[in-house]
Amino acid sequence: MNWYEKLSKYFPVEEMKSKEHMEMLLEEKGDVYHKDEAKHHVMMFAEFDTFIFIDYVYVSNQSRGQGIGHQLMDKLKAKGKPIILEVEPIDYEDTDTEKRLHFYQKEGFKHARSIGYTRRSLATNELNEMEILYWSPDYETEEEIFEKMKKMYKNIHTYKDKELYGKSYEPVDKVLTFNEDRNDNIFDELDE
């Protein structure tokens, strides 16, 4: 099974970029967009000057619990930049969502409560609500994380979207919102 098949079997269709999109990012934005792949994992990430965005992380079922995810996070943390990622809210019918959140919580990630993120899937046309998690060595504010997410969205998620999919994703200002009064913490649900 190749790297794309591994990712597409693990991630829901509404979260997946096309293989062509990822290959184009790797080829045309290879200075920013990277693939870290081995037999039991695939990680796709973008490294900008001031932050890292994790696009996808997959660790095979048979190798979970062996520290591979922790090693991947340590490799990124060693770069000394904030790390940002999108994660699904807890779905009690999908135990992986809860395990994923526990993993990132143990790795020291925080929930960017002020950032709202709702993107319409080009594959399903459904609205897909995600939460933003981040790890920061220098105590970034959520406003700074918000600005970095906007940069990532414009440079990675929507890169040549019309050319690749025949239509464009919604503009960044419609997808990402900042509201300091948004107080729900996704990690609180884990502790209940």
pLDDT at 88: 83
pLDDT at 111: 92
Answer whether 84's CB lies under 8 Å from 153's CB: no
Torsion angles phi and psi, residue 135, rounded to 5:
-125, 135
Residue indicated by tokens 């969502």: 97
Q: pTM to 2 decimals?
A: 0.92
Domains of the chain, earliest start first: 3-191 (3.40.630.30)
pLDDT band at 64, cuts 50/70/90?
A: confident
State pLDDT tens for residues 145-159.
999 999 999 999 999
Answer whether 132's CB lies under 8 Å from 115's CB: yes
| Gap between the Cα atoms of 167 and 147, Å rounded | 25
Mean pLDDT of the 133-149 span? 95
**Is the pLDDT assigned to residue 192 strictly greater than 80?**
no
